[in-house]
Structure 1
Amino acid sequence: MKIKETPLKDCYIIEPTVFEDDRGYFYEKFNEKKFEELTGLNGHFVQDNISKSSYGVLRGVHLQKGEHAQAKLVSCLEGKVWDVAVDLRKDSPTFGKWFGVELTPENKLQLYVPRGFGHGFSVLSDTAIFAYKCDNFYEKDAEGSVIWNDEELNIDWKLPKEVIQLSDKDQHLPLFKENNF
């Protein structure tokens, strides 16, 4: 397993060591001990989520706040997604910055999104199956969010605007400047 730093403080790309031959491949998707040794961060996860979406679906930007904040380790099991993390920690040197990475089953990359970050993704393939490991349990009352097309954040979702599909909830999220993170 290799840990690659991103431009955002405490946000990492996880690249597994893959053993491949003519029969297929094998890799360790996650190892808590190795993760903690390489990052110095807590790698204990308590909840796994899976979503399936079609081309143009954009989910985000979401987070859990306060004592219910969640770190996430995300990956794409089928298809192709553009995954985005936004640093929403006021005391961070990268507050208000975002980072995106393409996740696919072929590249086997994962993105570690720390507590206090917003997260979202857009689907670039016909369909995609997306997996989230979370280090805290979901709590509806702790939800936070930023609208996907916030001009101050200026996130590039790698999709033409006319194909973007949003949930009713995601169409009416607050602006970055309207939040009290």
Structure 2
Amino acid sequence: ATFTITEPQPAQPQSSFTYSINNLNVYFSNTSNNGLFSWNFGDGTSSSSYNSSHNYDSAGTYNVCLTLITNCDTVTFCETITIEHLSSVNLQDELQSGTKVYPNPAANTVFFSINNLKARNLYLIDPNGKVVESRIIKGPREEISLNGYSSGIYTYQITDNLNKLIKSSRLNIIK
């Protein structure tokens, strides 16, 4: 009898991402397989986080690239994104979104006073772009314990039931 042993070929590295835009802030979600990552946001800045959020200085078109580095290969995926100016009407809606966050900066606990009836989801994103808190909004006041969180500038996002962004801003955690 003759036996043939065939070793499976390792999966080819694939680099890809999705993104969501809120004014000048973009949240990038890495959908690549494992390896080391390098983001180039097309404006001279970069990051090595798995997921990342980036605040652009101005509206415009940017070529964003995610490079995946493995032991065997390096693969880059690029996509052109367009950041548009927020109209004054939209800006006024944003200012009247009815959300207050306090205290900010915060050390132990942060409170969200949410008076927008469309608000359904609350996300807290760490300085590396990783979602560290995700919850369904159950009432006009949400409380998040900051035990276990490191100091840094975090981003919070509030979305509606279709996950459309209502409010996004920064939270400074000081330990």
TM-score by length of 2: 0.25
Is the helix fraction higher in 1 or 2? 1
Q: Which has the larger radius of gyration?
A: 2
**Higher relative contact order, structure no. (Cα contacts within 8 Å, ≥ 6 residues apart):** 1
TM-score by length of 1: 0.24
Is the strand fraction higher in 1 or 2? 2
